[in-house]
Structure 1
Amino acid sequence: MGQVLHGSATTTEAIRRAIQNSQESLRALARRYGINQKTVAKWKKRTSVADLPTGPRELKSTLLSLEEEAIIVAFRRHTLLPLDDCLYALQPTIPHLTRSSLHRCLQRHGISRLPEVEGDKPGKKKFKRYPIGYFHIDIAEVRTAEGKLHLFVAIDRTSKFAYAELHEKAGKMAAAQFLRNLVAAVPYAIHTVLTDNGIQFTNRKQDRHAFEHIFDRVCCDNGIEHRLTKVKHPWTNGQVERMNRTIKEATVKRFHYDDHAQLRQHLQDFIDAYNFGRRLKTLKGLTPYEHICKCWTKERERFRLDPIHQMPGLNT
């Protein structure tokens, strides 16, 4: 097997071994092998003929302090979150933390790879890419001490912008009004909505000769294509199903609400925090609002108004 030497090496292992075993002077050996006397002296002092590893002998970060590295290591071992999720969670505490410095820190401590989960992993399928304005819509039930409510949720397939409302009834009129409110709330044009085959969104098979469904009329009035999921295939609308679960885990599954008003206020606060503050891996670390602003700079023809006008707080 051939020797692996660094690019600037002037000696081989055989020459180095001969230098170490020779009794000749440094000048004589340097003349014989055509090298500098300092090189001869260096190999005379060493007991090995292998190149020393390059770089610092003690691995440490030039960007992170020991305390910050300890925080990162403890957080990773406790949460077992992926690299990007760790980055987004730690940056508020360590503002100068970058993705590369985080990765190098995890490598130094031997925790850059998460443990493999037992069992066969199903292959991940990527969603087909669509321009901004493709919304998934669904309905879920939630409860407060006052009674039952129907949660209408919509999420953009591309920007992940979410919109939600609570209604006491889940009829087709409520669904149609929800779509009108969604169109008014979004700063860009909606070109497609995907729903299930519930009576709130479409006529039943036995009613196929009835008048056009009001949800379809609202779609037509706003130039929106209405698509339906395949019957008994709820995973087709999986994005909004997952958003339903996220909302429930942040609200009704965690807190008790004495009345509907408390839940409505908390739901609105959560949706605002999600749209304007939650950084998503699928958006490469951007929030839904930041992604919308990015699209605004590239595809202004799709927008009805400048999204900066919908930013909460003062515009300065």
Structure 2
Amino acid sequence: MDLQLPGTEGWTVLAGRNGSGKSSVLQVLTLALSRLAHLDRATGRVIRRYERDWPGELVHVDIKKLGNIPDGGGHKVLGRAAGRRNRTNAGYSYLHTAVDDHSRLAYSKIHADEKKETATAFWQRAHAFFAQAGIAVERVLTDNGSCYRSRDWRDALAAAGIVHKRTRPYRPQTNGKVERFNRTLLDEWAYPRPYRSETERREAFPPWLHSYNHHRGHTALKGKPPASRVPNLTGQYT
């Protein structure tokens, strides 16, 4: 549904009916329209934002599939036509990511697939990362991907006493913290500059992730980085 603000005559009519000035009507309608961003497009229901009370209470886990950059660069370097030709057989990368709900602290690694063995091994390393930071993980939230429905995944979480929760089907916003992280890494790491190879892009990932965790201000954290909520995070001030 497309909503449009009325013209000058419309403002006058609305203001007259409401007994208010045109500027007041504009403020009310602008605020109402901005709230559409908080609606679930599929149902029209309000998306309820939440934040867990302490680190480890809930960790969001997800996999982001990215097309690899061929040697010589893609369309940003070569132009669209040449970049498309050079793209053949470049393959894909899979970013496995775990984000703590309370602190937004992220652990993320690039892998060649999203198989159950890869996802499970990733989680075991992520769990160790959070433990080293002093975070005791209680629950993990994932989508319904096959790797997260595997016995390997189930057993790894059960052995650590971690509860596994799944998102509702076709509702990725339920896993919103890691989905938001994925959008940030696309904007700030994956696509902001014309890399000339996949190797070059991958080499830029660890420094970017360090900056995200230790230095980059987060609006949900009042402009502070995730490290501000994780006192035991190593390398916090480097």
TM-score (norm 1): 0.52
- Per-residue deviation, residues 155-201 of structure 1 (Å, max 9, x unmatched): 11100101111001110111001101101212121111100000111
Of structures 1 and 2, the larger Rg is shown by 1
Structure 1 CA distance for aligned equivalents of residues 122 and 171 of structure 2: 23
Q: Tell me how far 1:309 sits from its aligned partner.
A: 3.6
Query: Does 1:121 find its partner at 2:65?
Result: no
- Any residues of structure 2 matched to 1:75-86 within 5 Å, and which? none
Q: Of the two structures, which has the highest relative contact order with CA contacts closer than 8 Å and spacing of 6 or more? A: 2
- 2:59 paired residue number: 135
Where does structure 2 lack aligned partners over 5 or more consecutive residues? 1-26, 37-45, 71-89
- 1:196 paired residue number: 143
Q: Tell me how far 1:276 sits from its aligned partner.
A: 0.4
| Residues 200/118 of structure 1: CA separation in 2 closer, same or farther (3 Å cut) | same
Query: Does 1:269 find its partner at 2:192?
Result: no
Q: Report how many aligned residue pairs link the two structures.
A: 178
| Residues 221/252 of structure 1: CA separation in 2 closer, same or farther (3 Å cut) | same
Query: Does 1:182 find its partner at 2:126?
Result: yes
Partner secondary structure for residue 146 of structure 2: coil
Structure 2 CA distance for aligned equivalents of residues 252 and 117 of structure 1: 33
- 1:158 paired residue number: 102
Q: Tell me which amino acid in the other structure corresponds to 1:132.
A: P
Q: Tell me which amino acid in the other structure corresponds to 2:61.
A: I
Structure 1 CA distance for aligned equivalents of residues 163 and 112 of structure 2: 27
Q: Is the 8 A contact 2:213 2:226 kept in 1?
A: yes
- 1:63 paired residue number: none
Identity %, equivalent residues: 26
- 2:9 paired residue number: none
Q: Is the 8 A contact 1:144 1:252 kept in 2?
A: no
Partner secondary structure for residue 121 of structure 1: helix
- Any residues of structure 2 matched to 1:38-57 within 5 Å, and which? none
Q: Tell me how far 1:116 sits from its aligned partner.
A: 3.9
- Any residues of structure 2 matched to 1:220-235 within 5 Å, and which? 220-235=158-173
- 2:69 paired residue number: 144
Structure 2 CA distance for aligned equivalents of residues 196 and 308 of structure 1: 27
Q: Tell me how far 1:120 sits from its aligned partner.
A: 5.7
